[in-house]
Amino acid sequence: MKILVIEDEQALLESILAYFTGEGNICEHASDFAAAYEKISLYSYDCILLDLGLPGGEGLELLTKLKQLKKRDGVLIISARHSLDDKLMGLDLGADDYLVKPFHLSELKARVSAIIRRKNFDGDNVILFNEISVDVSAMKINVKGNQVILTKKEFDLLVYFLSNRNKVVTKNAMAEHLWGDEMDLSDDFDFIYTHVKNLRKKLLEAGAADYLRSVYGIGYKFGDI
């Protein structure tokens, strides 16, 4: 998962970042309105964790900005505000869920995972694509009953392809999704080719059809043959 944490409380921010990165996720952060707006304008995320009270602006305004930018990022509001009006306003403006502070990090993770499943896979834990079965929660892949062992990056790449099936995805978008915004200026995407090659090899060896296609000069397409 690629997550943006918008939070100005330093201790909480560090706890969230440590928790999610410790599980292999890509995490970026912003601690004020201006930095958060720059992030959402330039990049896309699986889920944005959004605090409402931010230095320099109001978190709810960022929801309006996301809508204006026509972004489809999942949004989970994390706030100390308990009022029903704040919750309803946030949800009306496009947030997917609202979690009141304080909370357990395990609950936060469960809420984030549920948002991503709803956004990309109609709420299912298991993604089915022809003979390929992917259990997102357990991180298990099966092809015709054969278990496929993937690295974390290969697994994330497969899920990314499945969430964008039959679409052409650029190498830059793939790099940003898997490694974060520090890769956006890279001109060398050989590492992408290596991960794609290894993913394709493992799926083929397990008995899957070859669904991956290279789109010259652009990137890759995963989908129906």
pLDDT digits (tens, 9 = 90+) for 140-161: 899 998 999 998 889 989 988 9
- Sorted by where each starts, the structural domains of the chain and their CATH numbers stand as 2-120 (3.40.50.2300), 126-222 (1.10.10.10)
In angstroms, the first-to-last Cα distance of the chain is 27
Is the alpha carbon torsion for 199, 160, 192, 151 positive or negative? Answer: negative
The model carries a pTM of: 0.68
Sequence-distant (≥ 6) Cβ neighbours of residue 201 within 8 angstroms? none
Q: pLDDT tier at 121 (50, 70, 90 boundaries)?
A: low
d(CA 60, CA 219): 35
CA distance 33 to 58: 7
What is d(CA 224, CA 206) in angstroms, rounded to the nearest whole number?
A: 18
pLDDT digits (tens, 9 = 90+) for 58-90: 888 998 988 888 888 899 999 888 778 888 888
